[in-house]
Structure 1
């Protein structure tokens, strides 16, 4: 596989070979035309003792080929045995095919890693497709809390992953600046305005936002307007206070996000849908009505627990059931105002109009019931051409040495994102927020993420990268002309005699490294950045284990003082580790330090 193009990784190459064999068998055996070979996969076997790769080719093609899976597996295996890169082929169970590759394949792949450097693992699987990822979208009513933090990190890492896998990614934030909550914000800010003018406001009334983060908004209003707002009716001052409060809250939110190295390409205002002269919500409803997707009707009473937006009356409904939802959905409330859902349909139609047929929305744990209706809406406004994937991010339990942390000095009733980042750093926050699948509750222990141990994944992975650089530093006694620069060092080690890597533990590490491009593609297609975090931890663990083994078995040390050639070969392997760890951490938005402090 040394002659494969740089963009095609080992598993993709093996898949292409299996598909070519199946196409040959189809031609020789007169299989029906149009058999779908895309169902074939080549992946690592669950049990490493079964070989290096496994394929389901015989299992998925047997029915179409009208051949028993086991018989078809034997036919495929026979042709695979003729491949000069494959050492052994075994048919297992009902028709799975296990492959063991020749050792040369793994050292050739290491050469590919050194040649491609930071580009190793980059994929063209996205083929430049436009994808819109909407994440965070916290209401602009205060600082971001630790719950928002997880969605922010997940969304941003997903964008980094998709970008690395060849998609054209737009990072978007939807500002909910048109609902009742921003009027509550305005009234809360007005109270702080009165306070800035010297009035005693006492305890913040129930229903308003009590946090002292609104004090600067009141002060800014007082500085700009003096006491003029006091003379106005609420209908006059409320839009002024609202605009100022939203602008300052969004500046605060952007600052919070910047502390996590998160930047969005687009900040989209919900209010812009209804305040542009041509009301986009009305326009969208008219568009759907013309298609027959809107009607006047009465909804049946909800089964089980009460539904928040249910009203027993004739009302304007979106025919969501025509697009896979459980029930049709109301668009206009009894007071004539649009439902949140109506605005959300218009917003997603706007995305479709901007050319996004591939959309991902990151929802908080409390929005799970909203998924089906939004997917139905996207199908409705795009005539089924667009797809919406919704990723639900579960709750974060914030702990300190096992004890739950509940209160914040700044906000009064929740812990802010900024407080957490200031305490443990953005790297720890980002990595640990990804070291669990997004739909599982996450325990984040502020004490544990500062430990320097294997039990702290972010430390262990970053330490793997730093350890590699420490090895390079120490190796200059044996290889004095080893470059310090990463790119130059990879080029220098490109002709290292890597054929001298023969120990099984070295091959285990090479095989783990070679998995990286496949992990990138699989994680990108599944929209699951946690897979990268898991992989990096496994890679770092294997690297640390090999280093430790060298302490007990001196012949396995990375630096052999009287053998510059084996040292260079092992440095090439260490360069592969350093390069892949740096690449994976960069995808997740985490730094790769060259030394640990």
Structure 2
């Protein structure tokens, strides 16, 4: 059902039939031949670069070769006309009958239209959000959550075996800070006046219920325990409570991970997993004892000119070798990364994707280098960085600070504007571009609000079917009946709408291949715009209305077109994680 892949294969066969000879005698390389939509729709339905990428190899002028290819393509029964443009593009216009038949197949596929086997079952791990378990999710976490979740949905839809994963950062110093913060709230619940929360601790009121629960469970017992024992309990209870809160927050956004991986598990049993991973890298020749040069610029006060255990990451693409052991003998955070990536390799993943905040830019090269060392050519690693979301209310910036407790939670945003506007709008810019999110604009019912415009197209599709039932009584009861008279769809605007629908499979595959889920949101807006335009044509010209009471067969054919639009919008919104409503209120 991918028109572009279909004609790419047809064009290759045409070129092979021309029996072109390369000037060197080498086999003709057709790997760079592509078929895409023309930049200007008036030029045709498809465009190929075949002549331009093959001309040098066969020693011909690109335009002359294009003329030869174009003439051969005219024999294709689905091609209405060909034309050569520019330096040697071949533009194709397909017959209406091709598009009418395409619509029939589309409607019969229904929800499976656009689904692909491109991934061939490759195991992919997509890790996203992974916020420190120190409090509720805030809107700053939202973008990575949506990008990661939608990307995972796209990869699964294109035939990959996908695991959605959340790394619980429960082994760092922030957990000690969290436990100390909860201890204060526990003492407060016991009646102690704790005064102002000391600097460096988490002051948020979200810790108050946990303090009260601990007081109910232990009385003043925690204060009588040795500090080490009490802190162990506080850490465990705090992490459990924060992760329960985080899961609830993510569920509000329709984000559900399949694996929650605890970083603490890597440090268990005297850091057995980390030691094993470092030992494997040592045996492979990636670890050595040495000194690092001081950082460029001003030398930090805590820099030590000493011999360290280092990962030879510069040998696999990094800018600097990375320390694995601190001066106190403890493993560095990066050492845990080594073990974590090793664990993913052991679980059989061929591609691991990390969706991180923009402040993790320095993380990219070291992880790519680590992947080369750990997985060789068998592991692909990609890091996607999400730029900050700037939050506005009626044009005025809303500020947030997690440590001060003065922040806007994800829950607050969902409750105010709804899940669907958040999920759609977080994709309405590429992940590495800054994004402005205004509470007022994302709830505005106008063409300027993309999510409303797309969902309104879904509601309009449903309203067309309701109108048809009201005016005609019985209408086509199944998909086969809806498309029985597809040949009656001859208006150029109707064919153009089918062409736009036909872009969906290619869009899905390209978005999955490039790891760019924002493409889906852009496409859905364009499709909705095309559908609304066709609706408006019917308003101006009764002969173009979807429901024509004087012509039941034509109405059925047009209802088939509406069903196709509804199927694609429902499918696309589903991948984004939003609803395709049957009506808008």
Task: Tell me the equivalent position of 2:46.
Answer: 53
Q: Give 1:561 deviation, angstroms.
A: 1.9
Matched, 1:491 2:484: no
Q: 1:181 aligns with which of 160, 167, 174?
A: 174
The 8 Å contact of residues 213 and 411 in structure 1, kept in 2 or not, is answered as no
Alignment of 1:72-221 (within 5 A): 72-221=65-214
**Structure 1, residues 293-351: CA drift from partner, whole Å, max 9, x if none?**
11112222333587899654321111111111111111112222222111112101110
Q: 2:218 aligns with which of 218, 225, 230?
A: 225
Task: Tell me the equivalent position of 2:503.
Answer: 515
Q: Give 1:33 deviation, angstroms.
A: 4.9
Task: Tell me the equivalent position of 2:432.
Answer: 439
Q: Give 1:383 deviation, angstroms.
A: 2.2
Aligned length: 585
Q: Give 1:92 deviation, angstroms.
A: 2.1
Matched, 1:238 2:231: yes
- C-alpha separation in 2, matches of 1:362 and 1:305: 32
Between 12-21 and 300-309, the greater mean CA deviation after superposition? 300-309
The 8 Å contact of residues 212 and 411 in structure 1, kept in 2 or not, is answered as no
**Structure 1, residues 30-68: CA drift from partner, whole Å, max 9, x if none?**
974554433222111111122111112223333444444
Alpha carbons of structure 1 residues 102 and 304: separation in structure 2 relative to 1, 3 Å: farther
Task: Tell me the equivalent position of 1:584.
Answer: 572
Between 303-312 and 453-462, the greater mean CA deviation after superposition? 303-312
- C-alpha separation in 2, matches of 1:553 and 1:282: 74
Task: Tell me the equivalent position of 2:323.
Answer: 330
- C-alpha separation in 1, matches of 2:509 and 2:198: 52
Q: Give 1:221 deviation, angstroms.
A: 1.9
Q: Give 1:220 deviation, angstroms.
A: 2.2
**Structure 1, residues 408-433: CA drift from partner, whole Å, max 9, x if none?**
99973211111100111111111111
The 8 Å contact of residues 478 and 564 in structure 1, kept in 2 or not, is answered as no
Alignment of 1:240-259 (within 5 A): 240-259=233-252
Gap runs ≥5 in structure 1: 1-7
The 8 Å contact of residues 469 and 475 in structure 2, kept in 1 or not, is answered as yes
Question: What TM-score do the two structures reach when normalised by structure 2?
Answer: 0.96
Alpha carbons of structure 1 residues 580 and 186: separation in structure 2 relative to 1, 3 Å: same
- C-alpha separation in 2, matches of 1:28 and 1:479: 62
Q: Give 1:232 deviation, angstroms.
A: 2.5
- C-alpha separation in 1, matches of 2:515 and 2:297: 33
Matched, 1:343 2:336: yes
RMSD (Å) for aligned C-alpha atoms: 2.1
Task: Tell me the equivalent position of 1:314.
Answer: 307
Between 194-203 and 501-510, the greater mean CA deviation after superposition? 501-510
- C-alpha separation in 2, matches of 1:197 and 1:356: 49
- C-alpha separation in 2, matches of 1:185 and 1:261: 27
Matched, 1:571 2:559: yes
Alpha carbons of structure 1 residues 34 and 298: separation in structure 2 relative to 1, 3 Å: farther
**Structure 1, residues 95-146: CA drift from partner, whole Å, max 9, x if none?**
2221111111111111111111111111111111111100010000101110
Task: Tell me the equivalent position of 1:384.
Answer: 377
- 3-state secondary structure, aligned to 2:325: coil
Alpha carbons of structure 1 residues 453 and 288: separation in structure 2 relative to 1, 3 Å: same
- 3-state secondary structure, aligned to 2:203: coil
**Structure 1, residues 432-476: CA drift from partner, whole Å, max 9, x if none?**
111111111111111111111111111110110110110111112
**Structure 1, residues 493-543: CA drift from partner, whole Å, max 9, x if none?**
021x22222222222211111111111111111111111111111111111
Between 219-228 and 63-72, the greater mean CA deviation after superposition? 63-72
Between 50-59 and 32-41, the greater mean CA deviation after superposition? 32-41
- C-alpha separation in 1, matches of 2:335 and 2:153: 31
Task: Tell me the equivalent position of 1:531.
Answer: 519
Matched, 1:545 2:533: yes
**Structure 1, residues 467-486: CA drift from partner, whole Å, max 9, x if none?**
01101111124442226xxx
The 8 Å contact of residues 482 and 489 in structure 1, kept in 2 or not, is answered as no
